[in-house]
Structure formats: C-alpha cells, structure tokens
C-alpha cells in the first residue's frame, strides 16, 4: 500500500496551484447563533468543476510524466470525479475517457464532454463497468485515476484542509462528508501533521452508513447499493482511505434523509450558496449533536455544488 | 428635494460599517469566456438580511437622533426593504412597524417578525395601504423610511459601489437592476464622484419597463401593476431617483421573462450562488447585448438572495 505523506500534499499544492481555486471560507451569524459554535465553511462548491475533486484529479494529471500523459487518463464515475478528471486533463491537453452507465443523466455526460472528455457507456452493473473499463485501458494505455483510493488523489484532497488551517486559526474540529473517504483521508493526512490537536469528524447519511459501521467494527464493511439523496456518498471505503479513517478520525456521525434535506435548505436560504445534498450532511450532524460542537471553532467542508436544479430534493 | 451628496455616502459608510457586510466580489471564468468580457459580481445576496437594502435601511436607522429613535421607524414593503429595516431597527433596539398586505406570504411576515419587527396588515390595495400606514405613523410618531425615495436610503445604497471600485480597478461599466431606482441612484451618486468615466447601465424586465420608457420619454412614467418574475422591480421611479437616473445613467436595457430565468439558472449552476430573479436581470441584458460589453471590465451588482426555494421560477 502506497500511503501518501504530508510532503506529497505540499508537492500537490505546488503542482495544482494554477489549476484550482484557493476557495473562500464563509461564516454565518445565523448559523453560529443557532448552533452556539463558530462554524467556518470551506466552500469547495466554488472550486473548479464545482467540487473538491478537482484537487485530487489535477494532482494526478499534472504529476504524470510526458510519456504517460500522451496516453491519457481514464476513470469510471458518473459524478464529480469524472467531471474533475475531464477538467484537469483538458487543462493539460491530454486524452481522458470516463466510463459511465448508459442510464446516467445526459447532463452529466454533456458536462464531461464540455471539458473535452470522451464518454464510453456501459451497462448499469459492476460487471459491465469493469469489463468496459478494462477494454478502454487496454486499448489506450490510459492511466487509471481512481476516485479516492489513489495516493495522488488523497494528497490532492489534502490541500483543502491545508488552506483551511491557513485561513482560520485554532480550529477545534473539522468535519467533512464521507463516502469513499478521499476528502476525509486528505484531511487526516494534513491535520495530523500540521494541527494534530484538531479533531476530525466524518458525516455520513444514515441510509449509507457503511463507514460508520466499519469504524465501529474495526474493518471495512461495504454495502450493496445504498439509497440516499446524498448521491456522492454511496461508495465504500477502500484500503487506503480505511488506513486514514481508522487511524485519525474521532467519530463518524450520521443523519437521516430529512435531516440532510433540511440542512441543505437552511444553507441555501441563509448562506445563499448552492451546494449538493452530500455537502449538507456535516451541518445536519452538527445540528443533531450540538453537545459535541458547542463553544467550539469548527471547520465545515462544503464539498461541492453540482446539483440538477430541476430535481431538487424538496421538489 | 433633498439630494444626497457623496459626503453623505462617506458618512453612511462610517455609520453602517458595524452592521453591514463588505460583501465579496466573485468572478467566473465560464461567464467571462461566454460573454467575452471581464465580469465582477458584487454579491449583495450575501449581505445582512439577504439584500443590499440593509445598507440604506441601516443608514436611516442609525442616523436618527435619540428622541426620534425612541419612537421607532415604519415602512410599507412586502419585500427586502421591510426585512432590512427590521434588521437595522433590531440592531439598534428600536421599534419598527412594517405595513404589509394580508395576502403577502407568511414566510415574509415571519421573517420581519424574526428580526423583531411588528407586522401590521392592510388590504392589498394602495388606498388601504396608505390609510393603514398613516394611522401607524400618527399613533407611534415613527419615522417613515421610504424604500428608495429617501436621501438617507440612497446614500446608504451608494456604499455598495464605493466598495466595488475599491475592490476592482478600472471598471469600464457597472450594471444593476432598476425598480424604484434606489440602488442605481446610489451607484450614480458614488461613481459620478469617484469614477466619472465608468458608465452606468440599468437593467429592467421588459414586462416592467417603466424606467426604460421614462428614460426615453424624459419624464417619469409609472405603470399600474406590472407582472414579472423579478418581483423586486415592479415599483416606479420617484423624483429623487429620477434625478439620478436622468442625469447619470448611460442606458436602460431590458430582458424578457425567459431571458431572466435563464440567466438566473445559469448563475446558480455555474457560480453556485443563490440569487433572486431581480438580480439576474443585469446578466440577462449582458448576454443579450454582447456588443456593448465585449472586451470591457464590468461590475455586476447581485442585489439580493431572498427567494422561496419552494417556488423557484423554473419549477
């Protein structure tokens, strides 16, 4: 297992600086008064391609040597990672192929193509996806950039909390959503090095609580097809992300679907920012567990803002 | 007619500094490439009470002497001005009454009360509103703070573009929505003093284009009950705002309802910010008139972010 180090985070930050935003940190008097804590929202919804995933994808793409870069990169993702990898590859001017189920929304396919990516469709099953993806890689020699279980990706995501601790002093805690664990792993990697006293919480939908159950059990539990409005958080932990979660996370908190949608609406209404359902899970768990956060200075990572405005969860 | 001066803007800025935000300016590579101009979005949707109106309202409230302050303030508004005046009065701890039609949405009444304001209901007609409002003022001795035809309010709104020109150098143009003309008047007042070469454009819904027709005719034309999704822009110019519009505005551009909604969705999708339909009118007119703005540095004032998430115009 190739575990990234904090030097990798620093190298990533240097490498991707021209291609990703140093995103702003927003605060809200309303939220602070409501919760009795000081919350600092790190707004990766304002990131390139609309999500923190641009960090890890850019680090992978811009770290390739020329020979590999010429062959391009590939991934399977119908979400932000596919979009972000297309963005990064487009910026470097190298080929990128994203394998997506033919049932994925046309808007997501169009968005990948909008950044210059090639979409290859598979059937909506794991076996088809793996077969189609293997063929893509065999033909093109493209480098596989996994959405999260990749040291380059984790080091890239670690640049987010590195900025956060530069932007905000003395954080008692940082909380981020957990799906496959890429953002949380990057957060662990950075904070364990530069702010070891800052506690790290992960937030997960109750309907997809495999990470919370893994955390309690002490080994990875993977669910089959969980169902949650937080569609970025359905994927399971893998060995690299489990390494960071099991070693550095303080706790994994969960929220119901209603709690997630309520927190999402509250954020849109009060902070006037567009964010994904997945990004509302941390606030939902904070509202649910005020005793953990009362009086504390808490960094909250808003992971992304790519939503279908015609299919909002409260419609 | 008591025309405010730039000294009034400077005094307002000093007076309200502790109660309103210096809002951020956002940029978007996507928007710049799409339009072929450099756009700088001044985000008053992040302002206190969710709109630029907090500036003018705070200037009026904090400029009162103690005797008048004790009697409080009053206005008639079912929109952002009523909310903002309630916010400002709440911060000073003085009484505030907002006369609203009994048919106004409960959420708007609740928002006024949430800031400590008193809602007095009238029938949804001008005669009832005026009668009820006169009674409120006669009984309480409250100071009437008009939503826009008030020199204190215009001076307060002028602080917005004063920040904008500090935040962004060498603007060729600034564009803002026009309804009653409070924001545009404040913009004229400031820019004619500190950046006289910067052209000022106003943007208006085609369905409520009384200001555009007034501008062409050379005198105020007031429409009866115009119908537009940009519900903050239905009110007519008054003598104070006409003074600024007729003397300093370069042109008033209009956009259709579909163009406004498209620009609103584009902003939400690409910039990840929640803004009102009224705030989308400037971008709609820029998209429609690229020849005016091509190659220019353009400040775009996003006036507010108070929308009913359950009644979005594309639903």
pLDDT tens by residue, B20-67: 999 999 999 999 999 999 999 999 999 999 999 999 999 999 999 999
CB–CB of B273 and A275 under 8 A?
no
Domain assignment present for A107? yes
Mean local confidence (pLDDT), B267-294: 97
CB–CB of B309 and A312 under 8 A?
yes
CB–CB of B274 and A273 under 8 A?
yes
Which tokens sit at A214? 């893994």
Measured CA to CA, the distance from residue B300 to residue B283 in angstroms comes to 8
Contacts of B139 (CB under 8 A, 6+ apart): none
Last residue of a domain, one of A144, A175, A197: A144
Last residue of a domain, one of A144, A166, A187: A144
Q: What are phi and psi of B225, to 5 degrees?
A: 50, 60
Domain assignment present for A310? no
Chain A positions contacting chain B at CB under 8 Å are 24, 26, 43, 45-46, 50, 265, 268-269, 271-275, 305, 309-310, 312, 314-315
Are B201 and B61 part of one and the same domain? no
Residue B5 has a pLDDT of: 98
Of A46, A305, A314, the CB nearest to B310: A314
Measured CA to CA, the distance from residue A109 to residue A278 in angstroms comes to 20
Measured CA to CA, the distance from residue B209 to residue A271 in angstroms comes to 31
Domain assignment present for A307? no
Total domains in chain A come to: 2
Residue A14 has a pLDDT of: 98
Q: What are phi and psi of A115, to 5 degrees?
A: -90, 5
Are A214 and A291 part of one and the same domain? yes
CB–CB of A305 and B274 under 8 A?
no
- Cα distance from B127 to chain A (closest Cα, Å)? 33
Are B29 and B66 part of one and the same domain? no
Closest residue of B to A29, CA-based?
B48
Residue B139 has a pLDDT of: 96
Residue A68 has a pLDDT of: 97
CB–CB of B272 and A50 under 8 A?
yes
The answer to whether A133 touches A74, Cβ cutoff 8 Å, is: yes
Of A26, A309, A314, the CB nearest to B314: A309
Domain assignment present for B110? yes
Judged against a pLDDT cut of 90, whether residue B249 lies above it is answered with yes
Domain assignment present for A309? no
Q: By residue range, what is the domain housing residue B190?
A: 6-51+150-302
Residue A225 has a pLDDT of: 80
Instruction: Tell me the angle at which helices A151-167 and A53-62 cross, rounded to the nearest 10 degrees.
Output: 130
Which tokens sit at A52? 């923190």
Are B136 and B252 part of one and the same domain? no
Are A270 and A243 part of one and the same domain? yes
Last residue of a domain, one of A114, A144, A174: A144
Judged against a pLDDT cut of 80, whether residue B274 lies above it is answered with yes
Residue B35 has a pLDDT of: 95
Mean local confidence (pLDDT), B301-315: 95
Distances from the Cα of B281 to the Cαs of B36, B104, B136, B244, B301, in angstroms?
Answer: 18, 23, 35, 20, 10
DSSP single-letter state for residue A276: -
Mean local confidence (pLDDT), B263-285: 98
Of A24, A309, A314, the CB nearest to B268: A309
CB–CB of B272 and A272 under 8 A?
no
Chain B positions contacting chain A at CB under 8 Å are 24, 26, 45-46, 50, 265, 268-269, 271-275, 305, 309-310, 312, 314-315
The model's pLDDT over B127-171, given as tens digits with 9 standing for 90+, comes to 899 999 999 999 999 999 999 999 999 999 999 999 999 999 999
Are B242 and B264 part of one and the same domain? yes
Q: How many residues does chain B have?
A: 315
Domain assignment present for A172? yes
Under the banding of pLDDT at 50, 70 and 90, the label for residue B176 is very high
Please give the mean pLDDT across all residues of chain B: 96
Are A182 and A136 part of one and the same domain? no
* Nearest one of B208, A104, A285 to A113, comparing CA atoms: A104
Q: What is the CATH number of the domain that holds B15?
A: 3.40.50.1100
* Nearest one of A290, A291, A267 to A280, comparing CA atoms: A267
- Cα distance from A20 to chain B (closest Cα, Å)? 12
Are B257 and B272 part of one and the same domain? yes
- Cα distance from A209 to chain B (closest Cα, Å)? 28
Of B269, B271, B309, the CB nearest to A268: B309
Which tokens sit at B154? 């215009």
Which tokens sit at B114? 């949430």
Are B75 and B11 part of one and the same domain? no
Are A107 and A215 part of one and the same domain? no
Mean pLDDT in each 10-residue stretch from start to end of chain A (315 residues)?
A: 96 98 96 97 97 98 98 93 97 97 88 95 90 96 97 98 98 98 98 98 97 97 89 94 98 98 98 97 98 98 96 93
Domain assignment present for B199? yes
Residue B77 has a pLDDT of: 87
Are A239 and A94 part of one and the same domain? no
Q: CA A66, A70, A71, A74: dihedral to nearest 10 degrees?
A: 90
Contacts of B63 (CB under 8 A, 6+ apart): B12, B15, B152
- CB count within 10 Å of CB A185 equals 35
Domain assignment present for B307? no
The answer to whether A178 touches A202, Cβ cutoff 8 Å, is: yes
Are B273 and B193 part of one and the same domain? yes
């Amino acid at each position: 297992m190739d575990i990234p180090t904090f030097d990798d985070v620093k190298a990533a930050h240097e490498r991707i600086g021209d291609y990703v935003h140093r995103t702003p940190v927003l605060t809200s008097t309303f939220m602070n008064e409501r919760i009795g804590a000081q919350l600092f929202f790190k707004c990766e919804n304002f990131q390139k391609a609309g999500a923190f995933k641009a960090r890890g994808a850019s680090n992978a793409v811009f770290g390739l040597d020329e020979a590999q870069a010429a062959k391009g990169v590939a991934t399977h993702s119908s979400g932000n990672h596919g979009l972000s990898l297309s963005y990064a590859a487009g910026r470097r001017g190298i080929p990128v192929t994203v394998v997506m189920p033919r049932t994925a929304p046309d808007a997501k396919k169009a968005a990948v193509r909008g950044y210059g990516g090639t979409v290859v469709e598979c059937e909506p099953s794991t076996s088809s996806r793996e077969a189609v993806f293997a063929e893509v890689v065999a033909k093109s020699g493209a480098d596989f950039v996994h959405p999260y279980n990749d040291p380059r990706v984790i080091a890239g995501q670690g640049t987010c909390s590195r900025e956060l601790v530069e932007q905000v002093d003395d954080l008692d805690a940082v909380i981020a959503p957990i799906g496959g664990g890429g953002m949380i792993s990057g957060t662990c990697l950075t904070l364990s090095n530069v702010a070891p006293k800052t506690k790290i919480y992960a937030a997960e939908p109750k309907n997809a609580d495999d990470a919370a159950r893994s955390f309690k059990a002490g080994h990875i539990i993977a669910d089959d097809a969980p169902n949650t409005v937080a569609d970025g958080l359905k994927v399971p932990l893998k060995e690299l992300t489990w390494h960071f979660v099991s070693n550095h996370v303080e706790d994994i908190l969960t929220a119901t679907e209603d709690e997630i949608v309520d927190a999402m609406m509250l954020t849109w209404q009060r902070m006037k920012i567009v964010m994904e359902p997945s990004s509302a899970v941390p606030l939902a768990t904070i509202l649910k567990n005020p005793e953990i956060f009362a009086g504390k200075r808490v960094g909250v990572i808003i992971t992304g803002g790519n939503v279908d405005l015609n299919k909002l969860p409260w419609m």
